[in-house]
Amino acid sequence: MRQSHPRRPRPLLGVSVLLCALLGLTPPAVASEGPTSTSADVARLYEEASLATARYEEGRRAARLHREKVRKLNRLLAGKRRKIAVLHGDLGRLASAQYRTGGGLPYTAQLLLADNPDALMRGKQVRSQADLAVNSAVVKTRRAAVRLAAAKSEAERAEHGLARRLTRLAVLKRGIERKLESAQWALQGEADRAVAAGKCRGAVRLRQPKKKAATRAWVTPVQTYELSAGFDSAGKRWSHRHTGQDFAVDIGTPVRSVGAGRVVSVSCGGAFGIEVLVRHPGGYFTQYAHLAAAAVEQGDKVRTGQWIGQAGTTGNSTGPHLHFETRLTRHLGSGVDPRKWLAERGVEL
């Protein structure tokens, strides 16, 4: 009996409609066609998770930039204050030199008593000019320090505002995480009951992501993943060699067709649990197994990247993941290495 690579489920991050409003986001357009279903709830929460994570990471980057800005302003401000201290020292030395040269006498008396009045006048003029220059430098530097201090305060306020915003986001995320995890396992429970009964529930028609201009003929079966058991692996989990490539993902993760084709079959019994088989031009077949739900029916035409199901852990599986196969025929045993097959089509795993 074939078993698949174990995978402990990770709670996904999500965001509620309230969170969308808080962050100025548009609620995701993922819904079921007809009555609300667990599959649609998971898909909606999964989509919201992507929005929340993107905005949260954006906030973290902004906070890091503000922290760096505050540190830079601190360094500049410290430099200006050191410069002011040096300039004050220069003023003190000038004043001391004037006192020593004049001895405290009025300037007229210094001229009358000087051996060389011209030299005294020139020296006095030079010291006065130096005094003015240092005074001017002190004023300019102090003004610059005031501007830097104001900029630093503004940056600190912005940083604190971002920190408060991220804290609110984290609180909302934790609440959605619990809801999503509950919805994920409710979906898995429905799938397990369908598999046990040997009767598929029918396609859950999820609204597809917005179409983009076709740039690639082939894609990976899931967008974000960790590779686990590979093709032709040996181990206690399989009675023979492993016939596909496993992608470790969470329950409810959207599974997409790697290329354009037509759905050959949708089944929900046996070792593979809920599975979808797609035939592609050229006679190749791809299989998507251990699903929690199928979003297509036999005979459906699918495009590259179209959602055809949601990942799960049905059938002979010990943890949430997608089992993906590429075959020469529709039958088990005709599989080829999925990594090499996709690489030949420009898709590197």
Does 92 reside within a domain?
A: no
Residue 233 lies in a domain: yes
Element (H, E) at 85: helix 38-102
- Asked, for residue 164, whether it belongs to a domain, the answer is no
Structural domain contains residue 320: yes
φ and ψ at residue 146, rounded to 5 degrees:
-65, -45
Number of compact structural domains in the chain: 1
pLDDT at 172: 75
Digit-by-digit pLDDT tens for the chain (349 residues) are: 334 444 434 433 334 444 444 445 444 444 433 334 888 889 888 778 778 878 878 878 888 887 888 788 778 778 777 877 776 676 666 556 555 554 444 545 544 544 555 554 555 555 566 557 666 766 777 777 777 777 778 777 877 887 888 888 777 777 777 888 889 999 999 999 999 988 888 888 777 777 665 578 999 999 989 999 888 766 555 456 788 999 999 999 999 999 999 999 999 988 999 999 999 999 999 999 999 999 999 999 999 999 999 999 999 998 999 999 999 999 998 999 999 999 999 999 9
Is residue 188 in some structural domain?
no
Instruction: Quickly tell me which residue has 């890091």 as its tokens.
Output: 64
Angle at 220 between CA 264 and CA 173, to 5 degrees: 110
Beta-strand (E) ranges in 250-347?
254-256, 261-267, 274-279, 285-294, 301-302, 307-311, 322-327, 335-336
CATH of the domain at 292: 2.70.70.10
Closest listed residue to residue 175, CA positions, set 59, 45, 277, 276: 45
Q: Would 186 be classed as within a structural domain?
A: no
pTM higher than the cut 0.75: no
Is 236 inside a domain boundary? Answer: yes
Q: Is 217 exposed, middle or buried (0-12, 13-18, 19+ CB in 10 A)?
A: middle
Domain hosting 304: range is 226-343
Asked whether the beta carbons of 321 and 7 are under 8 A apart, the reply is yes
Domain assignment of residue 114, yes or no: no
